[in-house]
Amino acid sequence: MNLILLDPNEINADGTVHLDDRRSRHIIEILGSQPGDRLQAGIVNGPVGSAEIISIKKQKKTATVVLRFSAEGLMPQTPFCDLIVALPRPIMLKRILAQAAELGVRKIFLINANRVEKSFFEANILKDEKYRQFLLHGLEQAKDTLLPEVSIHKRFRPFVEDFIPTIATTYSKMLVAHPETGAGLKQAAGNQISGRTLLAVGPEGGWVDFEIDRFIEQGFVPISMGSRVLKVETAVVALLSQLILLKGD
């Protein structure tokens, strides 16, 4: 936790924040902070800044920390990359959500595909915003505050054929990961990327031909990491990192 992330609703009228959860435990047990200390902090979807510790109260089972936040940075910049992922198994989804947030993805579209196990859509992590905590872990790690928006799309064709056309004009590049057959990112996108990018990563075992054809119909360009077939979670981090490099900021 490199940044203490606060929700706007947590800030009281007098500017203080009362924490009584894993953040207060982290402040007390890991950081060993004392009243008067200042910690790096940020508001979800708001500015970064610092939080002064006003008081610490440690009891048997609870650990309450009162902070006062001061904004010091600018509002976060909107990240340039959105991500489509064929819904992976829950344990992998947790890591992908955290790592996508860590790398500054803005929107995450979790979609169906032929090789997605239908039971994954019943997973607990997709309910009641349980996934939010994994996004927060990623932001806390990367010292970012912009919470990615997650949406779930249970039907492949309506997503690609009806929904994609409604957002396609907002992207300057749309890429679909397709191991072995796609070109390298440099061949597909050149040495520099400007504007927003939409990246689609398939399930373990890959997209089926029908799916790749639908993406290409919508203007997606197939890309790969050469002959290597990567695990979904490796591919997400690898391709996002390559896009960040070509974006060059």
Q: How far apart are CA 232 and CA 205, in angstroms?
A: 9
Tokens of 1: 């936790």
DSSP-derived secondary structure letter, 34: -
* Minimum CB distance to a copy of itself smaller for 64 or for 141: 141
> Which one among 15, 35, 165, 184 touches a copy of itself, defined by CB under 8 A?
184
**Based on the number of CB atoms within 10 Å of its own CB, is 180 exposed (0-12), middle (13-18) or buried (19 or more)?**
exposed
Binding flag, residue 89, a copy of itself (CB under 8 A): no
> Which one among 14, 128, 209, 249 touches a copy of itself, defined by CB under 8 A?
249
Alpha-carbon torsion 101, 106, 112, 118, what sign? positive
| Minimum distance of a copy of itself from residue 234's CB (angstroms) | 5
* Minimum CB distance to a copy of itself smaller for 90 or for 153: 90
User: What residues contact residue 13 under an 8 Å CB cut-off, 6+ apart?
Assistant: none
Q: How far apart are CA 188 and CA 44, in angstroms?
A: 35
Binding flag, residue 190, a copy of itself (CB under 8 A): no
> Which one among 186, 194, 213, 219 touches a copy of itself, defined by CB under 8 A?
186
Name the residue among 222, 219, 178, 170 with its Cα closest to residue 196: 170
Binding span for a copy of itself by CB under 8 A among 60-68, 142-150, 161-169, 208-216: 142-150
Tokens of 103: 């790398």
Binding flag, residue 230, a copy of itself (CB under 8 A): yes
How many chain residues touch a copy of itself (CB under 8 A)?
Answer: 32
* Minimum CB distance to a copy of itself smaller for 14 or for 249: 249
* Minimum CB distance to a copy of itself smaller for 63 or for 185: 185
Positions 94 through 133 that interact with a copy of itself (CB under 8 A): 99, 102-104
* Minimum CB distance to a copy of itself smaller for 13 or for 248: 248
Q: Where are the alpha helices (DSSP H) in 62-158?
A: 90-102, 132-142, 156-157
Binding span for a copy of itself by CB under 8 A among 16-24, 162-170, 211-219, 240-248: 240-248
Q: Where are the alpha helices (DSSP H) in 36-142?
A: 90-102, 132-142
> Which one among 92, 183, 188, 246 touches a copy of itself, defined by CB under 8 A?
246
Binding flag, residue 216, a copy of itself (CB under 8 A): no
DSSP string covering 160-196: IIIIHHHHGGG-SEEEEE-TTTSBPHHHHH-S---S-
The site for a copy of itself (CB under 8 A) is made up of 2, 99, 102-104, 141-144, 184-186, 191, 225-231, 234, 237-242, 244-246, 248-249
